Amino acid sequence: MNGTKQILMGLVLAVGLMALPRALAAAGPVSVELGSAAPFTILAGSEITSTGPTALNGDLGLWPGTSVTETPPMTLNGTRHITDSVASNAQVALTAAYSDAGGRSATISYGAIFDLGGLTLTSGVYNGSSSFAITGTLTLDAQGNPDAVWIFQAGSTLATASGGSVVLPNGAQARHVFW
């Protein structure tokens, strides 16, 4: 009887271990560590330009540049860090995070100037050979997983149209979306 129990336990363990890689793959990528860059809604290197009503929830940072143009002035629910040590340290952390996210293997690769509007995407790494656009609604569906992560790797730019939006249903969180 003990031999039968050992065989059954071994089979259960083997089946569980075979399912583990599939479960880990379904979980999607792990989050990107932002470090001291995390409190920033905008963290730029050369200049910041806002044309139109803009409200930001988080810090605004610029290093090493000095040009901030706001027409009309932005509403900022955070702290401005323009060419100070906080912005400088955040840029170092941002560079490390950028390298991490950029080095991830793509779940899906798209061709040049790909429009994400109208798509529903689950957790993953999405690579565009040149640019991404959002001309409609992009839905990032966490499928009930509050730790779901989306990483968008664009070769050049992200362009959003007036009325373009990103919707985060089913537990998706903005802090787990990286552009």
What per-residue confidence (pLDDT) applies to 51? 85
Q: How far, in Å, CA of 122 to CA of 143, rounded?
A: 7
pLDDT of amino acid 15: 39
Q: Which two tokens stand for residue 84?
A: 């100070």
pLDDT tens-digit profile, the chain (179 residues): 545 444 433 333 333 433 333 344 456 899 999 999 999 999 999 999 888 888 999 999 999 999 999 999 999 999 999 999 999 999 999 999 999 999 999 999 999 989 999 999 999 999 999 999 999 999 999 999 999 999 999 999 998 888 889 999 999 999 999 99
Does an H or E element contain 24, and which? helix 2-27
Q: So what's the pLDDT on residue 22?
A: 35
Beta bridge pairs of residue 61: 43, 81
Taken as a whole, the chain contains a residue count of 179
The backbone torsions φ and ψ at residue 91, rounded to the nearest 5 degrees and listed phi first, read: -65, -35
Nearest to 174 by CA among 153, 154, 155, 146: 146
pLDDT at residue 27 in the model: 64
DSSP E strand stretches across 63-178: 67-71, 75-77, 80-82, 108-110, 114-115, 120-121, 124-128, 131-134, 137-140, 150-154, 157-160, 165-167, 177-178
Cα of 116 vs its chain's centroid, Å: 14
Residue 14, pLDDT score: 38
What is the distance between the alpha carbons of residues 149 and 126, in angstroms, rounded to a whole number?
11
